[in-house]
Structure 1
Amino acid sequence: MEEPEEPEEPEEPEEPEKSEEPMEERPAAEAGAVIVTRALTKRYRGGQLAVDGLDLTVPAGSVFGFLGPNGSGKTTTIRMLMGLIEPTSGSARVLGHPVPRGARAVLPRVGALIEGPALYGFLTGRDNLLRYDAADPTADPRTRRTRVADALERVGLAAAAGRKAKAYSLGMKQRLGLAAALLQPRALLVLDEPTNGLDPQGMREIRSLIRELASDGTTVFLSSHLLDEIEQVCTHVAVMARGRLLTQGPVAELAAGTRGRLVVTTPDTADAARVLKEQGAGDIAVADGDRVDAEPPDRDLAEVSAALVRAGVRVRGFAVERASLEDAFVALTGEGFDVAG
């Protein structure tokens, strides 16, 4: 396993500029937001348009899921928000400051785990965190070891703190990266695939930690390819595709805006499918056993049920299942989900 290269010295960021528009004069949604982008655009050399006019608003105190298929521009967006790359045009504000210009004021209040943790394999987990903490000019060296011990305990790595990082599994490395982001109290936590490589128990523990952080007032901004995970832990969500924002808002509203599936339970599946088609239902699927599901037709469902009964179909169940976040995602993007965008 190769050791990570020593990072290059970052350029000295400029002093933050005062906002041209006072916060009190901005829309209420922006004034209470932790992240705001307006027409944020990134075009790479060669003409590739990675992010196209992104208008994103992340409410304070939310757990915000950032979703999109492969190549949607999520990682590019996150890197712009963290000041790692500059936008081609548009603007971004994080914690009330413009980025990347205001990075000096923003970054001490932000914990981040982006594209996997950068670790020194020859150092122990504890020593990796001690080095991270020592690089923070705001960190009090007198309480360094206490902070490191607390962070290791919080992510479940206290027992493995003395092992070298190169012996860690992928999930353990992910936990260690998360511990590094939690060394100091953070107003904002930015997580890229926080449960990558974790077993089901580890995933539950990280979800619980995210909820705990949010309840303490930390805004959590995370991307994940596990839509069920996003649905369990996130309060808000944004969906991107091909560099553009398709939708954003509370998770419950996004799922509610997508039509659910009509499910008929009957031993007469072939007849039920025929009647549903006659009634205008779409995308009819007959599952093994006694289940037929379809897109509900644009008509009173009581009439559909009555038509099934008139046709002699023995209806044992008739209901519309609530749409999931995955249903909403597929309806918006027209494709399956892959987070590596």
Structure 2
Amino acid sequence: MTQAPTAEPAGGRAADARPAPVAVPAPALPAGDAVISTSGLTKRFRGGQLAVDGLDLTVPRGSVFGFLGPNGSGKTTTIRMLMGLIAPSAGSATVLGEAMPQSVGTVLPRVGALIEGPALYGFLSGRDNLVRYDCADPTADPRTRGRRVGEALDRVGLTAAAGKKARAYSLGMKQRLGLAAALLQPRELLVLDEPTNGLDPQGMREIRTLVRDVAAEGTTVFLSSHLLDEIEQVCTHAAVMSRGRLVVQGTVPELAARAQGRLVVRTLDVAPAAGILSAHGLSGVRTGEDRVEAEAGRTDEEALPELCAALVAAGVRVVGFGVERGTLEDAFVALTGEGFDVAG
């Protein structure tokens, strides 16, 4: 498992005056269908900092599960507890059907992980770093080591830089090498903490494709990220964390459906268009330079043509008209009242 040197806790903040998000439980899964399961999992650091607060999480087998939340929401602290790197203050966790951290010796050989960035020997080449990782794995067959190291480097696009010293790698290259270490052998579970950190847009697309490929091979992927776009593109399921608490979990379409859609009218006649939308009872009307938006709510699809006809009849020059579905960003803001980093 790839892990950086221990850093200051990056979990959720201590309780404050803001209202706490309301947790929405996931439906129970049949026994054996959950690769990760937690009950009341809690971590309080010295000084009273409550990083993770009563987490009940269920990760279905075969899913690409997005663990979503702003930086400082408790994601990395949760992962460190799941991997047995730190002990919980309360509650319990099982990974691959076994209690953690009690079963760390039997669970971790079945897990590939990249947590808080890769820990590398700067004086060794990328290839030699992978060899060291592989040698440390008691389940690794030394007879196939060279082939597996070469395949892992190829999968993350580092074959050409395999002989380069790791200290000369860029942040994105180091992140790729950490992923290669996690992929040296087939695993039942792949745990990735911010896997696209430091990558350019092309590199981010390549890693997303790699995650899909690994999942297609039968590996469950648990992917922590603060990038909503990343979660929507690659994940089948997701959970949202806020200030150390689980806000909601479910399939990605289910979570996005919690947000209201938006009716968007693109026009140069912004003021008249806004007046007509308001007159027809739409709420949340707001204007931009060349567009008007309103909350679509549960607007009957049959009413949309009539609304568009009303705009045209009033002389509004309609360039574009339609309903945009709710996104994970919309759902997150609706559930927590907080903004979100949606870069990427």
Q: Normalization by structure 1: what TM-score?
A: 0.86
1:166-177 alignment, distance < 5 Å:
166-177=167-178
Q: Once the 2 structures are TM-superposed, how far is the Cα of residue 311 of structure 1 from its aligned partner?
A: 8.0
Q: Once the 2 structures are TM-superposed, how far is the Cα of residue 28 of structure 1 from its aligned partner?
A: 3.9
Post-superposition Cα deviations, 1:206-253, rounded to whole Å, max 9, x if no partner, equal 111111110110000011222112111111110010111111111111
Code of the aligned partner of 2:262: R
1:21 alignment counterpart: none
CA RMSD of aligned residues (A): 2.3
Q: Contact between 1:112 and 1:190, CA under 8 Å: does it hold in 2?
A: yes
1:182 maps to 2:183: yes
Q: Distance in 2 between matches of 1:193 and 1:208?
A: 15
Code of the aligned partner of 1:305: L
Q: Once the 2 structures are TM-superposed, how far is the Cα of residue 34 of structure 1 from its aligned partner?
A: 0.4
2:314 alignment counterpart: 312
1:24-173 alignment, distance < 5 Å:
28-173=29-174
Q: Distance in 2 between matches of 1:43 and 1:138?
A: 34
Q: Contact between 2:172 and 2:199, CA under 8 Å: does it hold in 1?
A: yes
What is the DSSP-based 3-state SS (H/G/I as helix, E as strand, rest coil) of the residue aligned with 1:80?
helix
CA distance 1:43–1:313, change in 2 (3 Å): farther
Q: Normalization by structure 2: what TM-score?
A: 0.85
Q: Distance in 2 between matches of 1:5 and 1:282?
A: 51
Q: Contact between 1:65 and 1:223, CA under 8 Å: does it hold in 2?
A: yes
1:294 alignment counterpart: 294
What is the DSSP-based 3-state SS (H/G/I as helix, E as strand, rest coil) of the residue aligned with 2:56?
strand
2:339 alignment counterpart: 336
Q: Distance in 2 between matches of 1:225 and 1:28?
A: 26
CA distance 1:79–1:147, change in 2 (3 Å): same
CA distance 1:71–1:294, change in 2 (3 Å): same
Q: Once the 2 structures are TM-superposed, how far is the Cα of residue 338 of structure 1 from its aligned partner?
A: 4.3
Q: Distance in 2 between matches of 1:223 and 1:313?
A: 49
CA distance 1:46–1:257, change in 2 (3 Å): same
Structure 2: where are the runs of 5+ without partners? 7-27
CA distance 1:30–1:284, change in 2 (3 Å): farther
What is the DSSP-based 3-state SS (H/G/I as helix, E as strand, rest coil) of the residue aligned with 1:113?
strand
Q: Distance in 1 between matches of 2:103 and 2:264?
A: 53
User: What fraction of aligned residue pairs are identical, expressed as a percent?
Assistant: 71
Structure 1: where are the runs of 5+ without partners? 7-26
CA distance 1:144–1:295, change in 2 (3 Å): same
What is the DSSP-based 3-state SS (H/G/I as helix, E as strand, rest coil) of the residue aligned with 2:271?
helix
Stretch moving more, 72-81 or 310-319? 310-319
CA distance 1:313–1:106, change in 2 (3 Å): farther
Q: Distance in 2 between matches of 1:300 and 1:5?
A: 55
What is the DSSP-based 3-state SS (H/G/I as helix, E as strand, rest coil) of the residue aligned with 1:221?
strand
Q: Once the 2 structures are TM-superposed, how far is the Cα of residue 138 of structure 1 from its aligned partner?
A: 1.3
